[in-house]
Structure formats: C-alpha cells, structure tokens
C-alpha cells in the first residue's frame, strides 16, 4: 500500500503553556498527512468533492508515546490501510526528526459518501491509485 512522509515544524500555536503539543493537534496532523498522500496520488480532496465523493472520518484513534514540543521538526508518516467496499483506513506514525523518536501512532477510518451523505462504493480510481 502507498505511504507518504510530511515534514513540519511545531509552531507555538500548536502547544500549551508548557510548550508541549496539545493532544488534539495530532488529529489535525493526521489530516495533513492524509491530504498530502492523496494529493501525491493524484487524488486531491477538492477534486474528489467536485466528483461528489467525500471522506468523513467515522473512527479515529491516537496513542501518545512521547511529547512533541515547540520548534521540533516532526515527520508525519501516513500509510494507506484497508480499502473496503465503501470505506478506507489510514494509519499514522509521528516522529521527531532529530533522533527519529516515535511520538504518536494512530488510525482513522473513513466512509465514502456523496453530497446527500449517502454511503457510496469506493471509486475504482481511488482504489487503483492508492494500491499502485
């Protein structure tokens, strides 16, 4: 399955008063990684939406291993998981670039839906591009 790595720097706005990344921001980073993986695969979200395909998160988890802190360079590794009839999953690993320290792992599962919020089959093009 396809995977992607995205490097970002932790901004001050990502952290709490102690300079440690706020826990909810990891889910935002998962989204950034997933968006870039799809874009790199030729599947930009905005183009999918123009074709009446949406991918809402229906399940999410995150396990925190070590804190990320202000000004850290981090790597968000996103991996395509299972592509089902009408769903897709992704897994994530977040590392501190300096020392390659694992900071968090997680997963998200998404349904394929249309504009009316009805579940639809996974488009063949999505499956093809993400399993190449």
Instruction: Read off the pLDDT of residues 71-120 as tens digits, 9 standing for 90 and up.
Output: 999 999 999 999 999 999 999 999 999 999 999 999 999 999 999 999 99
Q: Give me the sign of the Cα torsion angle 40, 45, 46, 50.
A: positive
In the chain, where the domains are located: 3-131
Are 59 and 83 within 8 A, CB to CB? no
- Mean of the pLDDT values across residues 46-60? 96
Q: What percent of the chain has pLDDT over 70?
A: 100
Cβ neighbours for 22, distance < 8 A, ≥ 6 positions apart: 14, 15, 16
CATH class of 3-131: alpha beta
The verdict on whether 98 is a catalytic residue reads no
In angstroms, the Cα distances linking 20 to 12, 73, 81, 111 are 9, 13, 29, 32
Please check whether residue 106 is in contact with residue 63, taking contact to mean a CB–CB distance below 8 angstroms: yes
Q: Exactly one of 14, 16, 47, 71 is catalytic; name it.
A: 16
What pLDDT was estimated at residue 132? 80
Comparing CA positions, the residue from 97, 17, 8, 102 lying closest to residue 64 is 102
Q: pTM of the entire structure?
A: 0.94
């Amino acid at each position: 399955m396809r995977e992607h790595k995205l490097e970002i720097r932790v901004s001050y706005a990502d952290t709490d008063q102690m300079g440690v990344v706020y826990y909810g921001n990891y889910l935002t980073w998962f989204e950034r990684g997933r968006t870039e993986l799809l874009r790199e695969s030729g599947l930009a979200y905005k183009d999918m939406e123009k074709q009446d395909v949406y991918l809402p998160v229906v399940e999410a988890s995150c396990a925190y291993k070590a804190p990320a802190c202000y000004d850290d360079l981090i790597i968000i590794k996103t991996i395509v998981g299972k592509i089902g009839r009408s769903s897709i999953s992704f897994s994530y690993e977040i590392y501190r670039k300096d020392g390659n320290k694992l900071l968090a792992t997680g997963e998200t599962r998404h349904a394929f839906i249309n504009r009316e919020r009805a579940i639809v089959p996974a488009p063949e093009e999505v499956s093809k591009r993400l399993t190449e």
